[in-house]
Amino acid sequence: MEQFNQIIKGQIPVIVDFHANWCAPCKMMSPILKQLKEQMGDKIRILKIDVDKNQEMAVRYKVRGVPTLMVFQNGAVKWSGSGVMQADHLASVICSSTGITC
């Protein structure tokens, strides 16, 4: 938890993927997030949080369904959404919500 808090406090936007191993849509997000990382490179960080193993974090951030994606920057939630989303849409959301140049 302490390491998570340090990571989300940074200037670089962090995409947190709240997921579960049993969730089919969550499995669909893995290659999309990989594509996003390839597209945006060092401009972003991606963390995956298993809600079954980290229930206190799911409660803390009010995760009601999986997959839920949240964008953090400087310790604040800049955006959140649920469901499968394409890499281009996520890149657009990240750029507009964090002010980074894309």
The torsion region of residue 45 among left (phi > 0), alpha (psi -120 to 50) and beta comes to beta
Looking at 9-86, list the stretches that DSSP marks H as alpha helix, in order from N- to C-terminal side.
Answer: 24-40, 55-60
> Active site residue: 26, 44, 66, 93, which one?
26
Task: Confirm whether 95 is a catalytic residue.
Answer: no
Task: Confirm whether 102 is a catalytic residue.
Answer: no
Residue type, 61: Y
Rounded CA-CA distance 16/34 in Å is: 13
Best CA proximity match to 51, nearest among 40, 43, 42, 63: 63
The torsion region of residue 76 among left (phi > 0), alpha (psi -120 to 50) and beta comes to beta
> Active site residue: 7, 12, 20, 23, which one?
23
Residues noted as catalytic: 23, 26
